[in-house]
Structure 1
Amino acid sequence: MSAPDLILTNATVLTVDADDAVAQAVAVTDGLITAVGTTDEVIALAGAGTEVVDLAGRTVVPGFIDAHSHVSMGAPYVKHADLQTPPVGETRTVADALRRLHEAKDRNDPAPGEYVVGWGYFPDQMDDGGVLTADLLDQEFPDHRVVVVHVSGHGGYVNGRVLDDLGYAPGCANPEGGTVVRLPGTDIPSGELWEQAWMPFVLNLLHYGRAEFDAMLTEYARWGVTTVQDGAATWAQIQQIRGYAEQAPLPVDVRSLVIYSDLDKVIDAGLADTTVGGHTVQGVKLILDGSPQGRTAHVTQEYVTGGPGGEQHWHGIASTDVETTNTVVATAYGHGVQVFAHVNGDAAIDQLLDAHRAATAAGITPTGRTIAIHSQVMRLDQLDDYVANGFEPSMFTIHTYLFGDIHIANFGPERAFGISPMRSALAKGLRPSNHSDYPITPINPLGLLWSSVARTSLTGVVLGEQERITAAQALRALTIDAAYEHRTEHDRGSIEVGKLADLVVLDRNPLEVAVDEIRDVAVERTIKRGVTVYAAR
């Protein structure tokens, strides 16, 4: 065997293998891990050309896997107005938002009639209530179309030009699975749109080039992410990323989910479950409901606060009808395509389970490991249904921090405290992953790890102490269990001989620091297939 290309020594190596073994050193040859052990054992393998890095007690973990994220949404946002509220951003008032939109317009210089775009807007946490209307946006930007994306990504605000483009005039009907919010006491659209009034339009707005794509992957690498899911890609976006991967291997592996409306195109092209240059077409993405912070997650028990348009006795929105859901699941299973479904509320989860059962009753064999993405406002009995039907949940614990106080208001303490029930899922023998859903929340895997251990809101409320997990369990959710859900546990997710040399060097051990310090642990180096793709210094 040839000498290793790289050896990391004098480290705390958290292998995340079946025994959670801890080693001191790792050797890498031709992009694969070729030795794991003590420093003395591994350094003895060094040859004349081996790079030996003394980590002086730093910690090495497997490359983080962002189990559900949105590369094709995040890449276009690189150049647009970041309107996120504290603690993520600095937008506190409508005036702040308008100023940043003007700065983006000046920076990007769109031609008259083209779009000015902002993202991450969350009026519920703004000092002045954050009310945006089409009229206000028209006054500020009379020569342009304006789109402001809600922090959930499931709705937003547009000006009059865009309302006209979409045909949303006074008295218009809501599209099935969507809501056009009206000015109070009128039938006049306010400019606020949700779900199917919003989604088909905004998905076609997300254009980016190679520079934005590369910048997006660089940002993932900066946070130690070596594999990321692109969680709702159109056929055009899949072709675009595949083209980039064919030109040169990607610095971070991207695993695309085709949006359900384009599933047939992927099947007809024979691209399902294919990989080129680090790009994989992994599965299909269904969107069955909205977001809990946007009050559009589909739940069986009504919201405490009503709907986004002032609706009473509100249960959220079923974004996709039952017939379409059943057809997509059956088609995917029939062609061996893994199914991933956005299901925030328990009613949406029931809809997905019913579609799965309908397919199996029709004699169609499931592909396996159907993933219920988010699994937030769910009933604990549904975890038993996951076990019985071969589902796995990809959970979203950073919500307990960033939106926890909003969830308490929207759902009451009992339901809010049960959001993303990771401990209960583990107790059932499930292997939940955790994810950022970027750009909905920041990429930071250490922040995700912390949130699943602490489950503490912005105001210090613990959202369900009974669902807190250990730091070791939290690390597995970001590595080997995420790999398991992606059906890639054979080649990544743990530090074992024969697996990809996807490694992250941290300045401290997240399993040993105080809980409140976990989110401050820093990534010093990210290694993808043995090559450093990010270095802090």
Structure 2
Amino acid sequence: MALSQPISASPSSGPRADIILYNGPIWRGLEEGTTEALALWQGRVLATGSLEELAPFRDDATRMIDLDGRLATPGFTDAHLHPTYLGVVMDWVDISPQKAPTLEALLTAVKARVEQSQPGEWVFASGYDQTKLDVGRHPTMAELDFIAPNNPVMLIRTCTHVQIANSLAMQAGRITDNTPDPDGGKIDKVNGRLTGFLAENASAPILDAVPPLSRAAAIDAIERAGTYCLSVGITSVMDAAVGMKAGFEEIAAYNEAKRTGRLPVRTWMALQATPAHDNIVPQCHDLGLVSGAGDDMLMVGAVKLFLDGSVGGATAWMTEGYLADRDNHGLQMIPTQELETMVLDYHLKGYQICAHAIGDGAIDQLITAYEKALDAHPDPDRRHRIEHSGFLAPGQNERMQKAGIIPSPQQVFLHDFGDAYVTMIGMDRVYSAYPQKTWTQMGLKPPAGSDSPVCDPAPWANLHAMLTRRTGKGTQLDPAECLTIEEALQSYTEYGAYSQKQEHVRGKLMPGYLADVAVFSRNLLEATPEEILTDTVCDLTILGGRVVFERARV
């Protein structure tokens, strides 16, 4: 039996557990393995062992939770998602392939929302993937104008890096046929006329014209998204771009949500630093909000930079061009000298840095900037991160290992978008992308994430991709990069905590650790990948020793 260190009295005279879980495998961590029973007290793990060994910690007030063979694990960490944005998107029109597999279905869904809206009211829809539409292309401005002549409309591609706007939305952003491409963005035109397609920074003028998200609406979104995360076993998240939806007001929204009990999950905030007009870091730094400020429930994490786009949107910065246009290498979002200056500045100010880099061109640019900052001012435990880190060039893994850089991937991308990736850049570059087994073996400790609302934060597809390396259509990618179920759980728990410098506080179910627990509907350690994908749910979630989600069992 393992007892927490602060307890000096014998079990017979010591504390009594608030909750004891028993009668099922309790996975404490990769090295620690499973135990039969788990006692929780005052928000922390009190003890682990057999039910008999934990009996002295039980009294009439202890809630006994019978696992009935189900697996309990540390609460999962989604190391990269956008809770505020997810909460907002949950109120938008859903045009994902599951809801709108055809262009006609997509336009019908958007038209229905337009007809429910007042003239001039903005209409947003998200989740489309042109590679999965029956027409195999993006919707157009003309098609949106036809269904929405009196409302500004914007469609957001599933990757969030591409948007389609109608004429009224373009007018709101003062984008015309004569508007040039901005730095780090693309405005598509055919024969000199707008098509509606906008990539990366090109959509900024339109988004600036949208009424800002109020603090009350931001809190509603934070609560809505966090509540959903709890229902799928996620107890900790990284908000991968605080400030993206409401600027510095999001900091206030998060703190008010916490103060009023409306922050459902532990949140590690990555502060939006690019593009320049959305940079909230100067305000945060002036207030002393640097990495580590806060507490176990709400903490300032990293500074967030964007270096490129997405493969599906043909905007990820690749050294080799895209198949449909070999001259297109994607978008470089930040000039190299500017990036290196920013990285050094934030490094000196004490920030951990996490930067979006998917293509090998962006990854190389970022690793070099990190290397230069760390060489000039060494900090072997800063743990700068590369968000996504999907398509690497030879030698980049070794450079990350030497510099102590953490790759922060989303294996669910391979499940949801792997076949589209093959269409965009070819099997050779996709086959061994997102090499999580290699990273694990190299000791890089890659966490797991969903990038929600890009992908569903529910962990089933992510776990399936980690275990099988198969796409949603069944295409087999490099099987040498498959993880075991224990390694996959480690990514979701221990490595998630490590990526946020919280590995001594959470990510395991050992005495003294935070009492964050997820109970799943089956024993994942013995389930097939297909059972995990199609027939598994989270039955119960505990945060800080308190049951915060419980599914009714039939």
The normalised TM-score by structure 2 is: 0.91
Contact 1:59 1:506 in 2 (8 A): yes
User: Which residue type is aligned with residue 130 of structure 2?
Assistant: P
The Cα of 1:130 is off from its aligned counterpart by 4.7
User: What CA distance in whole angstroms lies between the structure 2 residues aligned with 1:336 and 1:486?
Assistant: 14
Q: Residue 166 in 1 paired to residue 173 in 2?
A: yes
User: What are the equivalent positions in structure 2 for 1:107-122 lying under 5 Å apart?
Assistant: 109=117, 111-122=118-129
Q: Residue 534 in 1 paired to residue 552 in 2?
A: no
| Aligned residue among 230, 237, 244 for 1:228 | 237
> Please, which runs of 5 or more residues in structure 1 have no aligned partner?
307-311
More displaced stretch, 501-510 vs 360-369: 360-369
| Aligned counterpart, 2:399 | 385
User: What CA distance in whole angstroms lies between the structure 2 residues aligned with 1:27 and 1:322?
Assistant: 52
User: Which residue type is aligned with residue 316 of structure 2?
Assistant: A
Contact 2:303 2:346 in 1 (8 A): yes
Deviations 1:31-67 (A, max 9, x none): 1100111121123310121111122211101100000
| Aligned counterpart, 1:344 | 358
The Cα of 1:413 is off from its aligned counterpart by 1.4
Deviations 1:467-509 (A, max 9, x none): 1111111111111011101111111111110011100111212
3-state SS of 1:386 partner: helix
Deviations 1:208-241 (A, max 9, x none): 3433332211111111100011111112212211
Q: Residue 2 in 1 paired to residue 11 in 2?
A: no
| Aligned counterpart, 1:462 | 476
User: What CA distance in whole angstroms lies between the structure 1 residues aligned with 2:542 and 2:115?
Assistant: 37
Gap change, CA 1:277 and 1:61, over 3 Å in 2: closer
| Aligned residue among 6, 15, 37 for 1:25 | 37
User: Which residue type is aligned with residue 136 of structure 2?
Assistant: G
Q: Residue 253 in 1 paired to residue 262 in 2?
A: no
| Aligned residue among 195, 201, 207 for 2:200 | 195
| Aligned counterpart, 2:313 | 294
Gap change, CA 1:209 and 1:365, over 3 Å in 2: closer
| Aligned counterpart, 1:514 | 528
The Cα of 1:360 is off from its aligned counterpart by 3.4
Gap change, CA 1:203 and 1:64, over 3 Å in 2: farther
Deviations 1:319-373 (A, max 9, x none): 2222332232112111111100111011101111121133234447577111111
Contact 2:22 2:65 in 1 (8 A): yes
| Aligned counterpart, 1:447 | 461
| Aligned counterpart, 2:83 | 71
User: What CA distance in whole angstroms lies between the structure 2 residues aligned with 1:106 and 1:281?
Assistant: 42
User: Which residue type is aligned with residue 300 of structure 1?
Assistant: T
User: What CA distance in whole angstroms lies between the structure 2 residues aligned with 1:291 and 1:407?
Assistant: 10
| Aligned residue among 100, 108, 115 for 1:91 | 100
User: What CA distance in whole angstroms lies between the structure 1 residues aligned with 2:254 and 2:393?
Assistant: 37
| Aligned counterpart, 2:5 | none
- Report the count of equivalent residues: 524
| Aligned counterpart, 1:176 | 183
3-state SS of 1:182 partner: strand
Contact 2:150 2:168 in 1 (8 A): no
Gap change, CA 1:365 and 1:428, over 3 Å in 2: closer
User: What CA distance in whole angstroms lies between the structure 2 residues aligned with 1:482 and 1:167?
Assistant: 42
Q: Residue 278 in 1 paired to residue 293 in 2?
A: no
| Aligned counterpart, 1:54 | 66
RMSD value, Cα: 1.8
User: Which residue type is aligned with residue 313 of structure 2?
Assistant: G
Gap change, CA 1:23 and 1:365, over 3 Å in 2: closer
More displaced stretch, 446-455 vs 68-77: 446-455
Gap change, CA 1:200 and 1:471, over 3 Å in 2: farther
> Please, which runs of 5 or more residues in structure 2 have no aligned partner?
1-13, 274-278
Gap change, CA 1:211 and 1:76, over 3 Å in 2: same
Gap change, CA 1:200 and 1:364, over 3 Å in 2: farther
| Aligned counterpart, 1:45 | 57
3-state SS of 1:302 partner: coil
The normalised TM-score by structure 1 is: 0.94
| Aligned residue among 212, 216, 220 for 2:221 | 212
More displaced stretch, 74-83 vs 162-171: 162-171
More displaced stretch, 119-128 vs 134-143: 134-143
User: Which residue type is aligned with residue 343 of structure 2?
Assistant: V
3-state SS of 1:265 partner: helix
User: What are the equivalent positions in structure 2 for 1:387-426 lying under 5 Å apart?
Assistant: 387-426=401-440
Contact 2:127 2:156 in 1 (8 A): yes
User: What CA distance in whole angstroms lies between the structure 2 residues aligned with 1:80 and 1:276?
Assistant: 32
Q: Residue 150 in 1 paired to residue 150 in 2?
A: no
| Aligned residue among 286, 290, 296 for 1:268 | 286
User: What CA distance in whole angstroms lies between the structure 1 residues aligned with 2:192 and 2:519?
Assistant: 56
User: Which residue type is aligned with residue 198 of structure 1?
Assistant: S
Contact 2:110 2:125 in 1 (8 A): yes
3-state SS of 1:511 partner: coil
The Cα of 1:533 is off from its aligned counterpart by 1.2
Gap change, CA 1:148 and 1:249, over 3 Å in 2: closer
User: Which residue type is aligned with residue 174 of structure 1?
Assistant: D
The Cα of 1:383 is off from its aligned counterpart by 0.7
3-state SS of 1:123 partner: coil
User: What CA distance in whole angstroms lies between the structure 2 residues aligned with 1:190 and 1:364?
Assistant: 48
Contact 1:154 1:198 in 2 (8 A): no
User: Which residue type is aligned with residue 196 of structure 2?
Assistant: G
The Cα of 1:168 is off from its aligned counterpart by 2.2
The Cα of 1:172 is off from its aligned counterpart by 2.4
User: What CA distance in whole angstroms lies between the structure 1 residues aligned with 2:219 and 2:38?
Assistant: 34
More displaced stretch, 384-393 vs 354-363: 354-363
Deviations 1:75-115 (A, max 9, x none): 11121101110xxx2211222112222333455x3x43231
3-state SS of 1:197 partner: helix
User: What CA distance in whole angstroms lies between the structure 2 residues aligned with 1:426 and 1:266?
Assistant: 34
User: What are the equivalent positions in structure 2 for 1:317-336 lying under 5 Å apart?
Assistant: 317-336=331-350
User: What CA distance in whole angstroms lies between the structure 2 residues aligned with 1:338 and 1:15?
Assistant: 28
User: What CA distance in whole angstroms lies between the structure 1 residues aligned with 2:471 and 2:65?
Assistant: 39
Percent identity reads: 27
User: What CA distance in whole angstroms lies between the structure 2 residues aligned with 1:465 and 1:376?
Assistant: 16
Contact 2:80 2:450 in 1 (8 A): yes
3-state SS of 1:8 partner: strand
| Aligned counterpart, 1:309 | none
The Cα of 1:381 is off from its aligned counterpart by 1.5
